[in-house]
Amino acid sequence: MIDLAQLRREPEFVKAALGRRGFPPDEVDALVALDVEHRRLLQEAESLRAEVKDLSRRVGEARRAKADDVAEGLTATSREVGERERVASEACDVVAADLRARLLMVPNLPSPDAPDGRDETDNVELRRWWLGMEEGAAFPSFAPHQRVAHWDAARELGILDLEAGARLAGSMFPLYRGDGARLLRALSALALDRHRDAYEEIRPPSVALSETMMSTGHLPKSADDMYEVPRDDLWLIPTAEVPLTSMNRGEILEESALPLRLTALTACFRREAGAAGRDTRGLLRVHEFDKVELFAYCTPDQAEAAHADILARAEGLLRELGLTYRVLDLCTGDLGTSSKRTIDLEVYSPGVDKWLEVSSVSWFGDFQARRANVRYRSAEGTQFVHTVNGSGLAWARIWAALVETYRQADATVHLPRVLAPYFGEPVIRPRA
């Protein structure tokens, strides 16, 4: 969450920063007023508590001096002051709960470097890459056989069975078969091998407690987009970012251990409630998909390099796979709740003629660490870590783009050679 101390010191700065995201200024004013009221009630309750303690001491002295009338009078006063303290404490707790609930709905302050804008149409394209670009090759022109949507190409090959997936779990839960399933496994193995030089591989649980989901900012704001298991207070994770952010929850790390880099392959579950009816064919938008996540705890000074490293690794994988992609700097109106700055990678998928988001690389500042209470010990004292994360990569749309981009005139798919160590002969042919 945002820094409450900063809100007290610089309310107008915070209001202006959040205003870049479209956050209402009157909500900031309400937060300031609630904070003032909470501190007033807290001070009142503490003062009354001290008065009760002093009265108790004086009652004891009166009893020892055999001044029973004085002791009785002080006891009556103590009860009256104690009741006032109880009322003030209860009022303080109510205001504190209201303040925390409101703070949990406040987005992060955007980085000064994030471009201003209202929505995804204002995102800034930074660059594009395609195979052969360095040698002067023009932007790819795709042949008619590459312009076949992956759901049709995959059905012909027998590697994607959307109907069976729907029978098992409902729509938008894909079922991969044969070489389709093997391609997913190969992509994950390739990515994990590429990251093992600097990132510790983690296999976290696929479910998370509400407290864990709260730490990343997914709760309470995005509850409708998540799958909940109410009986056990658990949620299916929407991304490995959730468990990785909380791995050191409540701990103090040594500065010498930072940056602490982690990677994880997990299934990811999203209800996509806010995107009903949009891009629901094939693998364009699904409720379950596999993703390799890259994550780092770091100091503020390390954050820029950590963000650049994750972005470079995600781009490096796309280049190894030979997929055409573009890099977008997300505007303030399109940033996720917890993000200060996000760079998206979108792959061009010729069969559906769309740019498909396959990675979001985000710097969160100390926003998530405040929720998770992850700090580090430095020469200047104890302070919150910064968190950075990004997909390296999300596979459903990569799978779709590969099937379309590398489809041949005879309907086979000739995958890039980089997958050969994990896939075998990188050719997908129709099932016999």
Q: Which residues are catalytic?
A: 270, 285, 357, 360, 397
- CB half-sphere exposure, 39, CA atoms < 13 A: 8
Half-sphere exposure of 215 (CA within 13 A, CB side): 23
Q: In b/e form, how buried is each residue of 185-209, taking b as 16+ CB within 10 angstroms?
A: ebbbbbbbebbeeebeebebeebbb
Please report how many Cα atoms fall inside a 13 Å half-sphere around the Cα of residue 188, on the Cβ side.
Answer: 20
DSSP string computed for 242-285: HHHHTTTTT-EEEGGG-SEEEEEEEEEE---GGGTTSS-STTSS
CA-CA distance, 64 to 254, in Å (whole number)?
Answer: 53
The DSSP secondary structure of 76-137, one letter per residue, reads: HHHHHHHHHHHHHHHHHHHHHHHHHHHHTTPPPPPPTTSPP-SSGGG-EEEEEE-TTGGGTP
Point out which residues pair with 382 in neighbouring strands: 377
Task: Give Cα separations from 416 to 89, 294, 307, 312 (angstroms).
Answer: 66, 23, 27, 20
Let me know: does 244 contact 264? Beta carbons within 8 Å.
yes
Pairing of strands 200-202, 260-269: parallel
Q: CB within 8 A of 72, min separation 6: which ones?
A: none
Distance between CA atoms of residues 48 and 123, nearest Å: 54
